[in-house]
Amino acid sequence: MRKKILITGGAGFIGLHLAGKLAATCDVTLLDDFSRGRSDERLAALLGRVTLVEHDLTTPVPDGLLADDFTEVYHLAAVVGVVHSNEEPQRVLRTNLLATVHLLDWFTTLTGATLCFASSSEAYAGSVEAGVAEVPTTEDVPLVVSDPTVARSSYGFSKIAGELLCRNYARTYGFPLRMVRFHNIYGPRMGYEHVIPQFIERLLGGADPFPVYGADQSRAFCYVDDAVDAITALTALPTKETLLVNIGNDLEEVLIEDLATKVFETVGRRPALDLHPAPPLSPGRRLPDLTRLRELTGYAPKVDLSEGLRRTYEWYARDIAAREGR
Q: Are 247 and 231 in contact (CB under 8 A)?
A: yes
pLDDT of residue 38: 78
Query: What is the C-alpha to C-alpha distance for residues 97 and 73, in angstroms, rounded to an integer?
Result: 17
Q: In the chain, what is the straight-line distance between the N-terminal and C-terminal CA atoms, in Å?
A: 46
Question: Is the pLDDT at 36 greater than 90, yes or no?
Answer: no
Confidence of residue 54 (pLDDT cuts 50, 70, 90): very high
How many CA atoms, within 13 angstroms, populate the side-chain half-sphere of residue 95?
21
Give, as one character, the DSSP assignment of residue 109.
T
> 57-88 burial, b if ≥16 CB within 10 A, otherwise e?
bbeebeeeebeeebbbbbbbbbbbbbebbbee
pLDDT for residue 116 is more than 80: yes
* Residue 37 clears pLDDT 90, i.e. is over it: no
Q: Crossing angle of helices 195-204/305-323, nearest 10°? A: 50
Between CA 322 and CA 318 the distance in angstroms is: 6
For residue 74, the model assigns a pLDDT of 99
**Which amino acid, 325?**
G
pLDDT value of position 198: 96
Return d(Cα 181, Cα 234) in angstroms, integer.
12
The pTM of the full predicted model, rounded to 2 decimals, is 0.96
CA distances from 282 to 85, 122, 136, 253, 278 (A): 12, 10, 16, 16, 6
* Mean pLDDT of the region 37-65: 94
The reported pLDDT for the residue numbered 229 is 98
* DSSP structure class, residue 218: E
Respond yes or no on whether the N-terminal peptide bond of residue 209 is cis (omega within 30° of 0). Answer: yes
Torsions phi, psi for 75 (to 5 deg): -95, 95
Distances (CA, A) of 186 to 48, 174, 198, 249, 303: 26, 33, 12, 11, 11
d(CA 77, CA 4): 18
| Bridge partner list, 245 | 180
What stretches of the chain show up as alpha helix (H) in DSSP? 13-22, 41-46, 82-87, 89-107, 125-130, 153-173, 195-204, 224-235, 256-267, 291-297, 305-323
Amino acid 265: pLDDT: 98
